[in-house]
Chains A and B, each alone.
Chain A
Amino acid sequence: MSEPKGGSGRHGLVRGPQSLAAGLGLLALGVFAVWAGGDLPQGTLGAMGPGLMPRWLGIGVATCGVALLAAAFVKDGDPIPPVAWRGLFVVVLAIIAFAVTIRPVGIGSFMTPGLGLIVAGPLAIMIGGYASPEARFGELVILALLLTAGCMLLFGDLLNLPIPIFPTVVIEAVSGSISTRLLLRIAVGVLIILGLGLIALRRGANRRRPVDVATHSLTT
């Protein structure tokens, strides 16, 4: 392809930044795979060893990477689209927060307290919600309350999935005096009442301040 120099407004050697990054990634992965599977016996074609497939796959991936790299210098390609770092970090953070609070996890010598779904769920929603720049605190609180209640009912009560619902401390404290299922239902009821109450409060507050209603309806 005979493209006039600088015709597309790009400078330097790299004409396809996306291909360049993609190629580098594949090359690195391929080389890594060949290295990681290097200690496995290769065997022969008649009796393939466990290392044969990974090695050739690694070589194949690396070859694709080299081809993409070459293309990045020869052909005009797309730029790398902008990355929404905020969303990326916050979503990952929310998932990790869920993972370490749902049940006790040992990180080194430190042990996280197992807090169960009733804490891990709202935590994930409150953190995760801020991945979007449009997040609103009040809305998220209501969502967290009602959704957690729904999930506890669905996963814990109806489907009986093996998922911790309450903090281990609470379970130990009440063991014997009250069945966990009853406790679950009471908790669900409390969460729902809280959530609905908040909705009612917001409605009431909005009615008293008519100016807010106008801005509110404009933004939704």
Chain B
Amino acid sequence: MTDLLANLGLGFSVALTFQNLGLCFLGCLVGTLIGVLPGVGPIATIAMLLPITFGLDPVGALIMLAGIYYGAQYGGSTTAILVNIPGEATSVITTLDGHQMARQGRAGIALGIAAMGSFFAGTVATLLIAALGAPLTGLAMIFGPAEYFALMVMGLVFAVVLARGSVLKAVAMILVGILLASVGTDLETGQERMTFGLNFLADGVDFSVLAMGLFGVAEILRNLDQTETREVVRQQIGRLLPGRAELKQAAPSVLRGTAIGSILGILPGNGAVLGPFASYAIEKRLAKDPSRFGHGAIEGVAGPESANNAGSQTSFIPLLTLGIPPNAVMALMVGAMTIHGIIPGPGVMTKNPNLFWGMIASMWIGNLMLLIINLPLVGLWVRLLKVPYRLMFPAILMFCSIGIYSINSLPTDVMFIAFFGVVGYALIKLGFEPAPLLLGFVLGRLMEEYLRRSLTLSRGDPMVFFERPVTAVLLLISVAMLALALTPKLRKSRDEVFTEA
């Protein structure tokens, strides 16, 4: 306990420096902005801003990038409530009751409870990361290559199971991702693999290029498909602070949402996305009068919003302690860390305690900032929503091009984001999700390395993965989850969670 306090103290001393406070604020502001704007997601934004963070010190850079991520979760709910379209994928659920509340003239209260619930959830999640960080890191330290390999397999299996849509397609995406990662010079033998003698492929496919193409450019192409209709609530936003009766009604939902979101967020694989859906389903089931849901029930905003924010923060746990990114945003954080010469994993906490604890402390500060900046700025966000997409996407296009060019000063990199953009668009059209591909890509090289090392240690005996208890259990869980996901019954209920309305 004293350790925890001392560590948090160190964290706050790092996060409260003038520069880091400023970067945290900037991250939160940018995050809220892109969260509010539909069609611009945190993945594309972080990919776009990666090159800009080159000049910063790693702690500040990661504090800012993290701020963008959880700031976007706050912003997404604003759009969901006021415009009835999710600003972020995770705020889909909030549109159901949040927008109804807005139509009844209670927009301010919906925004208020969403922000307060998110703040509470963020606080709990921050404490959870601090508390779980040390023991999990200790666990990870005794892991050998075989255990790591098994852990990564489990992480990828969870990503498949928790992704929406076809299991087969998700598996295929992960394999394609690992395959892409193997392009380039082989780390052990120095031989070039599948480069076709092309110079720019010798170092492999660049992570930022892939991410920006798949998520930045492809997202623009997909948005151009649909002509948008935005219906901003014309009614008064009204008072922001919920009354005592409403607080009493919402408080249990906030607690439950926080618990559900935190647990799902820790899971490897994108559990955080499930949080709001699961929370909404539970609130509806527990309510005395479920028919109120969909007609402006405050619990239907408070629960999912808390779950959303809790999950987005606890998803940092697998990244910071085990070095395994649970979702595409965390995969980008891995990219950001590697760019700054930090290898994500259990080593971060011991080698870079400043970074580890500074980031955690900054999350809490960031949440506080969001609570304060968000509510008074609602008017500004509403005005921003009136900027049409036809003016937004050329700007995104230009930022992407400049950003990617400035990494290596290579025009070929810029052309490659167009290429991967087209690939990403094709994937979307064919019913694939690009996120598992990125996860596979990020983990691919490490996985191969660990696999090779563990097999070298065992002299080529594949039984090494089943003889050690930890690996055996991890792989068993993976197989069981995959089998479960393929059974029709669970698949049905999984789809139901996603379509719950």
* B196 sits at the interface (CB 8 A): yes
Contacts of A41 in B (CB 8 A): 189, 191
* B398 sits at the interface (CB 8 A): yes
Q: Specify which of B391, B393, B426, B430 lies most central, judged by the most chain A CB atoms within 10 Å of its CB.
A: B430
Dominant SS among interface residues on chain A: helix
* B422 sits at the interface (CB 8 A): yes
With contacts A87-B221, A99-B401 known, is A147 near B388, CB below 8 A? no
Alpha-carbon distance between A36 and B195 when the two chains are bound, in angstroms:
9
Alpha-carbon distance between A63 and B153 when the two chains are bound, in angstroms:
19
A136 to chain B, nearest CB (A): 8
A115 to chain B, nearest CB (A): 12
Alpha-carbon distance between A62 and B425 when the two chains are bound, in angstroms:
21
With contacts A54-B182, A80-B430, A143-B395 known, is A45 near B401, CB below 8 A? no
Whether B168 contacts A84 by the Cβ 8 Å rule is no
Residue tally, chain B, CB below 8 Å to A? 65
Q: Which of B169, B194, B405, B430 makes the CB contact (< 8 A) with A54?
A: B194
Whether B414 contacts A102 by the Cβ 8 Å rule is yes
Residue tally, chain A, CB below 8 Å to B? 77
Whether A91 contacts B397 by the Cβ 8 Å rule is yes
Closest A residue to B447 by beta carbon equals: A53
Alpha-carbon distance between A18 and B430 when the two chains are bound, in angstroms:
6
Whether A57 contacts B182 by the Cβ 8 Å rule is yes
Dominant SS among interface residues on chain B: helix
* A95 sits at the interface (CB 8 A): yes
Q: Which of B171, B220, B415, B452 makes the CB contact (< 8 A) with A91?
A: B220
Alpha-carbon distance between A139 and B462 when the two chains are bound, in angstroms:
63
Whether A33 contacts B418 by the Cβ 8 Å rule is no
B394 to chain A, nearest CB (A): 4
Whether A22 contacts B224 by the Cβ 8 Å rule is no
With contacts A94-B397, A95-B415 known, is A81 near B425, CB below 8 A? no
* B402 sits at the interface (CB 8 A): yes
Whether A61 contacts B176 by the Cβ 8 Å rule is yes
Told that A22-B430, A139-B391 touch, could you supply 8 new A-B pairs with CB distance under 8 A? Answer: A40-B191, A48-B455, A65-B172, A68-B169, A91-B220, A94-B394, A147-B395, A220-B388
15 residue pairs from A and B, CB less than 8 Å apart:
A40-B193, A45-B461, A61-B172, A84-B221, A84-B224, A87-B220, A87-B225, A88-B422, A95-B414, A95-B417, A102-B414, A125-B395, A132-B389, A143-B391, A161-B406
- Which residues in A have some Cβ–Cβ distance to B below 8 Å? 18-19, 21-22, 25-26, 29, 33, 36-37, 40-41, 44-51, 53-54, 57-58, 60-61, 64-65, 67-68, 71, 78, 80-84, 86-88, 91-92, 94-96, 98-100, 102-103, 105, 117, 120-121, 124-125, 128-129, 131-132, 134-136, 139-140, 143-144, 147-148, 151, 155, 159-163, 220
